[in-house]
Each structure stands twice: as C-alpha cells, then as structure tokens.
Amino acid sequence: MEIFAGLMQGFALALQPANLLWCLVGVALGTVVGILPGLGPPATIAMLLPLTFLMNPASAMIMLAGIYYGAKYGGSTTSILLNVPGESASVVTCLDGYQMAKKGRAGAALGIAAIASFIAGTVGVLGLMLIAPPLARLALAFSAPEYFGLMALGLAMVVLLAGRSLLKALLSMLVGLWLAGIGTDLFSSESRFTFGRMELLSGIDFVVVAIGVFAIGEVLANLEEPAAPQTLPIPKGWRNLLPTLQDLRDCRFAFANGSIVGFLIGVLPGAGSTIASFISYGVEKAVSRRREEFGTGVIEGVAAPEGANNSETGGALVPLLTLGIPGSGTTAILLAALVLWGFKPGPLFISDNPSLFWSLVASMYIGNVMLLVLNLPLVPLFAQVLRAPAYVLFPIILGVSMVGVYSTSSSLFDVGLLAGFGLLGYLMRKLDYPNAPLILGLVLGGAMERALRQSLMMSDGSLTILFARPISAVMLSLALLILLIPVVSRVNAWRRRLLS
C-alpha cells in the first residue's frame, strides 16, 4: 500500500507538464547519444551538469536518468545496421543483429531491440520499486570470490560463442585476456605490456577494440569483393520493417531472460551492463533449441542482450539510491550530481526524499513508453541507411568509427589502435577466428584477475575461499556445467551416428 501511495504521488509529480518535457528531453537525448558511437551517457551527463544547477532537482534527475536508460535503446542501432557497437553494452547485439541486417531483416532486428528494451526496462523499474532494499543487502553479500565466480561463469560462455573450432575460440579469448592485462597493475602500480607508452598506462579502452575488430574488420573484409553494388539487402515492404508475431513468440524467453539477468547483474556494483548483455546472450544460447543458428541472425540473440542492458539500468539504480554506492561510470556521475544539488545520497536517501525517489520511478515508466513510441517509427527510417551503396556506406562506417573512438578519449593514439585492431579483425575473419571470444576475454579479463587476487588476499593465499563460499561455489559449478555443453553435444552426435 505504501508503495502504491508513493507511486501515485510520484506520477502526480512526473506527469506535471514541465517534468514530462524534461523526461522527453532526457530520453530523446539519450537515444541520440546511444546511436552515436563513442559519446556515451557519462560524458553527456557530465556536460549537462552545470545546466542542471538551474533546474529543480527532481526535473534534473528525471532528465539525467532519461539520458541513462534512453542511451541503451539507441545503442543497438549502429550495432545492427553498421556492425559498429554504439555502446559497450551493445557489442553482443552485433553478433546476430548485423547478421539479421545482412539477411534483409534489419527492421525486425531494430524493432525487437526496441520492444525488448521496453519490456526489460519496465521490469527493471518494477524491480527497483518493489524489491530494492532487500536486493541491496543481497548485493553486499557479493565480494571478490563471488565476482570471480560470476566472471568465470561469463568466461565459460566462450564455448557457446565458438564457431566451428573450439580451439580457435579459445585462442581468440586468450588474446582478449592478454589485452585486458595491459596497463598499470592495480596492486603493485607496475606497468605491464605498456612498451614505454604512457597512453597504455591505463590499459586499452574496450570500445576501441570492439569497434576496430567488428566494424573496421568488416569493412576491410567487404572491400575484397570488387564493386559490389549494394552491401546489404534493403528490407522490402512494411511487413519486413517490424518484427512479426512469430518473432515475438520466438523471443518470449529472451524477454524474461534479458529482464531478470540484466536486473540482477545490474544490482551488483562490480559487474555492469556489458557483462549483463554477454551473460544473457549466453543463457539464451545455452537453453535454445536452435543453438547452432546463433551468430547467423537469430532474433533472440538480439532481444536477450538488448533487454539485459536496459533492465540493468533499473538494477544499477538500486545500490545507488538505497546505499549511495555507484556501480558504473554513469551512476558515479549521477551520485556526484546528487551531491552537487545538495542531497545526501546514502542508506537514508529514499526515506529522506520520498517524492524525488517516487517521481524518478514514475518518470522511468513514462520514459520507457516514450522511448518505445519514439524508437519504433524510427526503425523504417534507419533501415533506409542500408539503401546507400557500398562506396557511400563504407566511408561513413569508417568515419563514424574514428569519430566515435576519438570522442571518447580525444586521443589520436587510440585512433591508431583502432586501425590496428581493424587489421586484426580482418585477419581473424580471413583465418576464420571468431571475434566475440576476444571481446569476452577483454571485458572479463581485468575484473576476473582483480577478483581472484582480491580473494587470495582475503584468504591469505588459499584457493579454498572460492569454493567454501556458497554463491561463488554455485557460480563455479554452473561454469563447469556450461563447459560440459560441447562435450555433451559431441557425445550425442556420436551416439546418433552409432544408432543410425
């Protein structure tokens, strides 16, 4: 009842014309920022901070949060159309989304991304509203050993991302893990694999590698085919511009999976949306009946990660609002914003400022509806991008990639790295190495190494800490189960051959 009363009060505030307007401004800006590769929500929110001093804090919070979850909607656009991940959380979307576009189903992919985002985004807000405080306590049970279990679980997904050869997938993952090791060691302040370059002291930005390997690699590979008049088939007719009923039916599990996995991982301060999207993709593939088709343009492969990265935002607001603990770059700057406006984020924040909390929650329901209404009509429009012939489209992809990378770091060194990783992506395509495991290794490597070393520092060097704690033990067992999937399917194939 208390929740209902709070929510009504929240809607009363959020539905005021001014707040509706700020919500619209936030989600529209968020969509744009999400579509543009490179420029992400943290940078946008930081740039807008001085402006928010002039606003009433509730309106400002509604707008900034709108940018945060709105960006997750836009992130899939360039992933699907151009194979350029718009946000780090949309890298996985490239795997099946771009393949769908190649088959002329770009509209369906973009549409399902918006629908999955809407469903999971709404579930995320529901979770934030209903179970935030108990969940925040659960998040505190997670520490280094549990994070190690989670990362190991994520890394085990490599067997699901492998193409024909598991060995090649493992090699690709190892390169990713090595790339994750570049930089300054957190525990000893020593430089590792920096070759005396100060630009490498803080490691290689994951976005540079992802855009290089996916987008530039793809362009280079396509350039080989002489004078292809059209790169991708254009979706024809209205029916192909949006997902069909069959698509929606295929995605039923993906919607639930993305919502739940994304929210739960979002609650953990040490994980983040990129990991959430990878894990939900892995879960989707692990339980799918058409597992072999993943990576060739399966619609669930778009719905699950796009859902996960949206419900992650609801989850990430849980520790921020209930404990004052930020889990990601964006929530860190939201925390800074709250302090700058004179609030005291922390365990008493919600009870001190109920109207701010509830108007934020209400605005997120409204914002998700706005985003769906805003994004679905854009789908046919964006799908027209594919009408452009290769000689127009490829330079655009190269330009968008370079500007995207430069805008995150304003570093020409990173643009050079981008070219290098583009070549790597090209070679991997030629030699038939899957590129997703490389990204997986890079995303998880750093956090996994840190979690392992922190665990060992906690236990005075004893590995038993990883198995003695129930949550990490469960995760490690799950990881083991996933590793057994290829073995089982091989045994099955062998048995089938024996029977026939």
Partner 1 sequence: MAPKIAFLIALSLAGSAFAQGFKPTRPVEVVVHTGPGGGSDVLARAVAAMIEKESLLPVRMQVVNKAGGGSAVAAAYLAEKAGDQNTIGFFTGVWLTTPLTSNAAKVTLKDLTPISRLVLEPALIAVKADAPYRTLGDFIAAAKRNPGQLKQSGGSVTSRDNVVRQLLQKASGARWVFISFPGGGERIAALLGGHVDMMVIEPEEAGQHIRAGNLRVLAQVNETRLRGFPDVPTLREAGFDVAVVPQVRGVVAPPGIPAANVAYWEDVFRRLTRTASWKKYLEDNQFEDGYQGSAELAKFYDEFTGTMRGILQEAGIKVVR
Binding stretches for partner 1 (CB under 8 A): 42-43, 45-47, 49-50, 53, 139-144, 184, 186-191, 194, 196-202, 269-270, 319, 323-327, 329-333, 336, 339-340, 342, 344-349, 409-411, 450, 454, 457-458, 460
Comparing CA positions, the residue from 270, 271, 263 lying closest to residue 307 is: 263
Closest distance of CB 205 from partner 1, Å: 9
Collect contacts of 383-389 with beta carbons under 8 A, ≥24 apart.
Answer: 383/81, 383/106, 383/107, 383/110, 383/234, 383/235, 383/241, 384/234, 385/81, 385/82, 386/81, 386/101, 386/106, 386/231, 386/232, 386/233, 386/234, 386/235, 387/234, 389/229, 389/230, 389/231
12 or 141, CB closer to partner 1?
Answer: 141
Q: Which is nearer to partner 1, 45 or 157 (CB)?
A: 45
Closest approach of partner 1 to the CB of residue 399, in Å: 22
Which tokens hold the place of 330? 């964006």
Q: 155: left (phi > 0), else alpha (psi -120 to 50), else beta?
A: alpha
Least Å distance, CB 446 to partner 1, is 9
Give the separation between CA 106 and CA 116, rounded to whole angstroms: 15
**Sign of the Cα pseudo-torsion (25, 271, 169, 195, in order):** positive
C-alpha–C-alpha distance, residues 476 and 470, integer Å: 10
Residue 208 Cβ, how far from partner 1 at the closest point, in Å? 12
User: What is the spatial distance between Cα 272 and Cα 327, in angstroms, rounded to a whole number?
Assistant: 7
Q: How far is the CB of 336 from partner 1 (least distance, A)?
A: 4
Query: DSSP labels for 18-54?
Result: HHHHHHHHHHHHHHHHHHSSS--HHHHHHHHHHHHTT
Q: Cβ 138 to partner 1, closest distance in Å?
A: 10
Q: Is the Cβ of residue 117 or residue 455 nearer to partner 1 in the bound state? A: 455
Choice between 18 and 348, CB closer to partner 1? 348
Q: Which is nearer to partner 1, 94 or 265 (CB)?
A: 265
* Residue 47 or 487 with smaller CB distance to partner 1: 47
Least distance (Å) from partner 1 to the CB of residue 237? 43
Q: b/e string for 351-381 if b means 16 or more Cβ within 10 A?
A: eebeebbbbbbbbbbbbbebbbebbbebbbe
| 303 closest CA partner among 160, 119, 163 | 119
335 versus 482: smaller Cβ distance to partner 1:
335
Minimum CB separation from partner 1 for residue 470, in Å? Answer: 14
Q: Which is nearer to partner 1, 197 or 239 (CB)?
A: 197
For the CB of residue 424, give the shortest distance to partner 1 in the complex, in Å: 21
Q: Which is nearer to partner 1, 144 or 219 (CB)?
A: 144
Q: How many CB atoms lie within 10 A of CB 339?
A: 11
Least spacing, CB of residue 52 vs partner 1, in Å: 10
Q: Minimum distance from CB of 316 to partner 1 (Å)?
A: 10
Distance CA 336, CA 343 (A): 10
Decide whether 43 or 369 has the Cβ nearer to partner 1.
Answer: 43
Distance of CA 42 to CAs 46, 49, 66, 180, 202, Å? 6, 11, 12, 22, 18
Residue type, 327: G
The residue among 189 and 500 lying less far from partner 1, judged by its C-beta, is 189
Kindly state the smallest distance separating residue 335's Cβ from partner 1, in Å: 8
Q: Which two tokens stand for residue 244?
A: 């069909």
Helix intervals (H) in 288-411: 300-323, 329-340, 349-352, 354-375, 378-383, 390-409
Instruction: Name the minimum Å distance from CB 333 to partner 1.
Output: 3
The SS3 of residue 339 is helix
Give whichever of 222 and 330 is closer to partner 1, judged by the CB atom: 330
Q: What gap in Å lies between CA 356 and CA 57, rounded to an integer? A: 8
Nearer to partner 1, 16 or 184 (CB): 184
Other CB atoms within 10 Å distance of the CB of residue 262: 35
Report the DSSP beta bridge partners of residue 192: 183
Pairwise CA distance, residues 287 & 62, whole Å: 37
Spatial distance between the Cα atoms of 59 and 337, rounded to a whole number of angstroms: 13
